[in-house]
Chain A
Amino acid sequence: MSVTQPPLNSPDIRRLDPVLEPGHTYASVTDKIAAVVLTRPLGIGWLAGFTLTFTIVMVLFISIAWLVIKGVGIWGINIPIGWGFAIVNFVWWIGIGHAGTLISAILFLLNQKWRTSINRFAEAMTLFAVACAGLFPLIHTGRPWMAYYMFPYPSTMGIWPQFRSPLIWDVFAVSTYGTVSLLFWFVGLLPDLATLRDRAKSRYQQVIYGILSMGWRNSARHWHRYQSAYLLLAGLATPLVLSVHTVVSFDFAVAIVPGWHTTIFPPYFVAGAIYSGFAMVLTLAIPLRKAYGLEDFITMRHLDNMAKVMLATGLIVAYGYFIEFFMAFYSGNKFDVFLAEQRLHGPYSHFYYALILCNILTPQLLWFEKVRRNVLALFLMSLVINTGMWLERFVIVVISLTRDFMPSAWGRYSPTFWDYSTFIGTLGLFVMLIFLFVRGLPAIAIAEMRELVHESHEKGQK
């Protein structure tokens, strides 16, 4: 410690990067964000990116078409490994979505100003991730056109869903999550759509944003009800987001399969979801701020804070891994002990070591401020963590299923071309939707940015 260290309450020690670079006015933030949507011409980068991801979406369509023609046998799944990539990807995608809700709802309730410039596209990310996630259980049924059987509806057969099954809970949790995320996102967008309507130059922009903004006119009465509804939605989305990954973890934890049947699963799944979600927000935010010159709005403060959240949730996840081992040996259950050994020495142990490297060891670099302030390092770190979280779900699904109770029932799993093409296809779908989103809707909440300008003015006057 140097002797020149200022006292803790001095203004110097709190001199963090601003959440908004100084010098901005109501008009300048509005212009800058709206221009990305309304006036900026389509760049070669956008066109190239969109074309590439659109092509990958075609790969997804072909993969699904082939799946519908041939059945789930085209994947590497078989008894005893019936879950394979489809469920790994489902859990991975739904987890990624969680950061969007966390940023928009929980940080809103905690009155964190730095959420403002990242919440909009984080919410969009949530929606697109939930769309990708929902696809997997649907096509994993093998007969997706019969998926409506999962909903309780009065059928002529007189049968009803089995409500004691976590898989039915999942149907309700994920569809509620998708709906509430969409509502939350739309409510947040409403004033911004009106802003775009007011600034639109071409007729078709005026008509489209005019319809979408529903005639919002920024009345104080409207704002009052709006804020009330927004606050309530944030309050509702907060327990919802925790419940969704809890229910997803019940898909595993309620079963008796060794490695799944643990009480640590709900909290550790939720932490892992937030961990991977923040990694994905960084993966998207870093190129976005660069491409559209939004460094004034998405500042180093945002990146730094997100890195800290990743570090914290990463440590919770590491604790989860540790407790899994501890409980296996502490319980003395021979199947649990065997599973723990399988993770370290079994046929898929390299996945486990890669997981530890990606999710526990590498993120420890985030303790260093130098790393948190290096945009490239953060970007690479976010990719590593995304990979790590995917590996975590692979380890949970596949290692547990390959060798459970009876050696005669053991099996092996290796993904096929169609497993990979479907997974990569959803990555393409996700990124393509992000590409469309940044050009069609304001990627940063404009009205909230104006509010932020107002607050920083007020602070400046005092």
Chain B
Amino acid sequence: MEHHSHLHGVMGEFETPEQLLAAARKAREAGYKHVDAYTPFPIEGLAHAIGFRWTAVPLITLIGGIGGGLTGFGLQYWCSAITYPLNIAGRPLNSWPAFIPVTFELTVLGASIFAVVGMLALNKLPQPYHPIFNVERFASASTDRFFLVIEARDPKFDLAESSRFLQEASARHVSEVKDEE
């Protein structure tokens, strides 16, 4: 069987978040567009440095919250005033103050579910395979190493050139990331 293997990118390994941040900024300045960084904890300004500014998570959450709230109130109104109207001690069928707790709870529920599912979906998780895991050293990305990857799909990508760039940016170790399919 023929074994296909192509390059995903080159990976530079850094020892401190400050070095990584500086390298990410340099890569940006050098004109690289498809860059990703991997760190054991979130680092302030890093997403910005690799050119990622806007996330749709808050908007998705807002939509979930509004949807949940409308569903909550609509459900109660429909049940209590339209499909099963009951006269409870002469109170109005649409006794909206009594409907607030459930409306509130469903607002929070809708927003929370949308926030989590939205975050996972935008991150394309669950994802069973990613080429980055082919590099053995990458396991330390969840402990104490900081990685910058310049991806091969970047128009400016060149294996030798990009590797040198990472080395000059004080990467301690540079490795190729192979994508095996």
Binding site for B on A (CB under 8 A): 25-27, 30, 152, 158-164, 166, 168-169, 172-173, 176, 179-180, 183-184, 186-187, 191, 194-195, 197-199, 214-229, 232-233, 236-237, 239-240, 243, 247, 250, 447-448, 450-451, 454
Contacts and interface: CB of A to CB of B under 8 A. Distances in A.
B123 A240 contact: no
A233 B84 contact: no
Nearest to B112: A180
Interface stretch (B2-10, B25-33, B140-148, B154-162): B140-148
Contacts of B108: 176, 180, 236-237, 239-240, 243
Contacts of B47: 220-221, 223-224
A214 B127 CA distance: 6
Nearest to A224: B47
8 contacts: A179-B109, A191-B142, A195-B142, A214-B126, A225-B122, A229-B57, A232-B58, A232-B111
Given A195-B143, A236-B115, A448 B80 contact: no
Given A179-B112, A221-B52, A160 B144 contact: no
B67 interface: no
Interface in B67-112: 72, 75-76, 79-80, 83-84, 86, 88, 91, 95, 98-99, 101-102, 104-106, 108-109, 111-112
B22 interface: no
Contact of B84 (A160, A164, A237): A160
A218 B39 contact: yes
B14 interface: no
Nearest to A160: B79
Contact of B91 (A160, A161, A164): A164
Interface string B113-137: 1011011101101111110110000
Given A161-B79, A240-B108, A250-B101, A183 B116 contact: yes
Nearest to B139: A198
B153 to A, nearest CB: 15
Given A187-B119, A220-B43, A173 B79 contact: no
B46 interface: yes
A221 B102 contact: no
Contacts of B139: 198-199
Contact of A163 (B80, B112, B116, B120): B80
B38 A163 contact: no
B119 A179 contact: no
B37 interface: yes
B41 to A, nearest CB: 4
Contacts of A161: 79
A176 to B, nearest CB: 4
Residue picked from B102, B113, B133, B143, most chain A C-beta under 10 Å: B143
A231 to B, nearest CB: 9
Contact of B99 (A25, A163, A176, A179): A163
A162 B101 contact: no
Nearest to A171: B102
Contacts of A180: 108-109, 112
B106 A159 contact: no
Contacts of B126: 214-215
Contacts of B125: 214-216, 222
B50 interface: yes
Given A160-B80, A228-B119, 19 more contacts: A27-B143, A162-B88, A164-B91, A172-B105, A179-B109, A195-B142, A198-B139, A199-B143, A215-B126, A215-B127, A217-B132, A218-B142, A223-B43, A232-B57, A247-B101, A447-B40, A450-B41, A451-B41, A451-B42
Contact of A160 (B83, B118, B140): B83
Contacts of B80: 160, 163-164
B61 interface: yes
A217 B57 contact: no
A220 B38 contact: yes
Contact of A173 (B46, B105, B111, B144): B105
In this complex, the member of B37, B104, B111 whose beta carbon has the largest number of chain A beta carbons within 10 angstroms is: B104
A224 B106 CA distance: 26
A267 to B, nearest CB: 16
4 closest cross-chain pairs (CB), A and B: A26-B144, A229-B119, A215-B127, A224-B47
A199 B115 CA distance: 29
A243 B101 contact: yes
A217 B130 contact: yes
Contacts of B37: 219-220
Nearest to B17: A454
